[in-house]
Amino acid sequence: MNAKIISWYIGVSLLLVAALMAVSGLIACFTPGDGSAVELLFSAFVTAVAGSFPLLFVRRARHKLNFKEGNAIVVGSWCFACLFGMVPFLLYGREFTLVNALFESVSGFTTTGASILEDVEALPRGLQFWRISTAWVGGVGIVTLFSMIMSGHEEKSTLSGAEISNVARQAVRGERSERFANKMLITYVTLTVVTFFALKLTGLPWFDAATNAMSACSTCGFCIRNTSIAFYNNPAAELVLTMAMLTAGINFGVIFLTFVRGSQRHLFNSETIRVFLLLVAGAICVITLDLMLSGGYPSLGEALRDASFQVASISTTTGFATQDTTQWPVLSMAILLVCSLICGCSGSTSGGIKIDRALLAVKGVRDKVGSAVDPGRVRTIRVDGHPRSAGEVADAFGYIFCYLVIVVISGAVNIAGGLDFTTGLTASIACIGNVGPGFGEVGSLDNYSAIPEFLKVTSMLEMLIGRLEIFPVLYLVRSIGSRR
Q: How far apart are CA 429 and CA 427, in angstroms?
A: 5
pLDDT digits (tens, 9 = 90+) for 375-422: 767 677 888 777 888 888 899 999 999 999 999 999 999 999 999 999
Task: Output the CA angle 149-169-314, nearest 5 degrees.
Answer: 95
- Name which of 74-78, 124-128, 171-175, 408-412 the model is least confident about: 171-175
Task: Kindly provide the residue ranges of all beta strands, DSSP E only, lying in 126-221, ordered along the sequence.
Answer: none
Q: How far apart are CA 55 and CA 225, in angstroms?
A: 39
The 3-state DSSP class for residue 281 equals helix
pLDDT digits (tens, 9 = 90+) for 246-300: 999 998 888 888 877 665 556 777 888 999 999 999 999 999 999 999 888 888 9
Task: Output the CA angle 245-21-452, nearest 5 degrees.
Answer: 70
**Cα Rg for the chain, rounded, in angstroms?**
22
pLDDT at site 172: 60
pLDDT digits (tens, 9 = 90+) for 37-78: 999 999 999 999 999 988 887 766 566 777 788 888 888 999
- The Cα diameter of the chain in Å comes to 76
459 or 380: which carries more pLDDT confidence? 459
Q: How far apart are CA 80 and CA 100, in angstroms?
A: 17
pLDDT at site 312: 95
Q: At what angle do helices 330-342 and 421-432 cross, to 10 degrees?
A: 30
- The DSSP output letter for 422 is H
Q: Is the dihedral of CA 462, 463, 467, 468 positive or negative?
A: negative
Give one DSSP letter per residue of 451-483, joined into a string.
S-HHHHHHHHHHHHHHHTTSHHHHHHHHHHHHH
Q: How far apart are CA 222 and CA 116, in angstroms?
A: 11
pLDDT band, residue 140 (cuts 50/70/90): confident
Mean pLDDT, rounded, for 95-106: 94
Q: At what angle do helices 3-29 and 67-85 cross, to 10 degrees?
A: 30
